[in-house]
Amino acid sequence: EKREIAVPSRTKEILAKHGFTFKKSLGQNFLTEPNILRKIVETAEITDQTNVIEVGPGIGALTEHLAKNARQVLAFEIDDRLIPVLADTLQEYPNVQVVHQDVLAADLLRVTHEVFEDELPIKVVANLPYYITTPIMMHFLESDLPVAEMVVMMQKEVADRISAKPGTKAYGSLSIAVQYYMEAKLAFIVPKTVFVPQPNVDSAILKLTRRVTPAVEVTNEKEFFKLTKAAFQLRRKTLWNNLQNNYGKDEETKKWLQDSLTVAGIDPSRRGETLTLAEFAALSNEMEANKP
Ligand code: SAM
């Protein structure tokens, strides 16, 4: 009986066998604690009725656990040096397909269509490369791929921001961008000691569940997200200040902003971080309806 890939001694052997050296620029911190991997798979509730997309399989530590539980696993890995390693470590899992590609450049709809043989719920499960956590999250959320759930590891600080509630320091346009599509829950914390090499900060597992419909009804999504970004541009400024800075200070624009705020029932002297998704939606919809 072979030891799991994530067992520290086995990981060490694999790295040595292939002469692998870590690339910091690719966010390579590999998990070497099987219990954490089991917890991730449990949190994601993966069964043989689930297809899984993994981002950055590394040497396959998490992939192996996914393969044992899911119907099929599709894993995107950017580092060409890892492709032969994965062919070696995952050879006994025929339900895994590794695609050598930058996930951000991937046509997710097309690749999943090609790889997954059955139409089953798709879950994204990954220990993300931390330098591009947000772009990867947004790539999935904004794609037309029906992702039912995402269970993803990231820096704790980013997980806090994504799951933040209005009125907290961590709440910002990222919280809104993600919570618009998904319900976000911090599942558990992962200490930095379970990785090789060790990152500088602790990590967290975030569980995101797709909402049947977006959290709020907006008439123009693009403008809604533009507004939420504008509202947080300078965090210590009032909403009024940030809106004028972004939309314009001429009389016509000011009147438009003022009227929209009034009808939406929002005090312009508030700070962006105090507004709920519903308030941002109301304001955005008013602005849309009365565009100068
Ligand atoms: N899943 C492994 C584990 O948990 O041990 C490795 C996780 S490591 C934090 C991140 C992985 O993402 C690395 O294997 C890295 O090469 C890969 N990666 C980095 N940027 C990527 C990208 N743009 N597309 C796909 N994979 C990427």
Please give the full DSSP string across 94-153, using - where no structure is assigned. Answer: TTEEEEES-GGG--HHHHHHHH-SS---EEEEEE--GGGHHHHHHHHHHSS--EEEEEEE
Task: Choose the residue to mutate in 28, 96, 132 for probing ligand 1, maximizing ligand atoms within 8 Å of C-beta.
Answer: 28
CA 58, distance to chain mean position in Å, is 18
- Name the token pair of 291: 């565009």
Other CB atoms within a 10 A radius of the CB of residue 248 amount to 14
CA of 29 to the centre of ligand 1 (A): 8
Give the distance, in angstroms, between the CA of residue 148 and the centroid of all CA atoms in the same chain: 13
76 CA: nearest ligand 1 atom: 25
Give me the sign of the Cα torsion angle 247, 250, 256, 257: positive
pLDDT computed for residue 1 by the predictor: 64
User: Is the CB of 57 within 6 Å of ligand 1?
Assistant: yes
190 close to ligand 1 (CB < 6 Angstrom)? no
Q: How far apart are CA 218 and CA 282, in angstroms?
A: 8
CA of residue 198 to ligand 1 center, whole Å: 15
Q: What is the pTM of this model?
A: 0.94
Beta-carbon contacts of 134 under 8 Å, excluding residues fewer than 6 positions away, are: 158, 174
Average pLDDT per block of 10 residues along the chain, 292 residues long: 91 98 97 97 98 98 98 98 98 98 97 97 97 96 94 98 96 96 97 96 97 96 97 95 97 98 98 97 97 90
Please state the φ and ψ torsions of residue 204, each to the nearest 5 degrees. Answer: -140, 150
Ligand 1 within 6 A of CB of 135? no
Taking alpha carbons only, the member of 242, 214, 233 closest to residue 172 is 233
Predicted confidence at residue 179, as pLDDT, reads 97
Kindly give the distance from the C-alpha atom of residue 50 to the centroid of ligand 1, in angstroms, as a whole number.
Answer: 22
pLDDT at 2: 80
136 Cβ below 6 A of ligand 1: no
Nearest alpha carbon, ligand 1 atom 1: 57
Radius of gyration of the chain (CA): 22
The answer to whether 96 and 75 have CB atoms below 8 angstroms apart is yes
Q: Whose CA is nearest to atom 21 of ligand 1?
A: 78
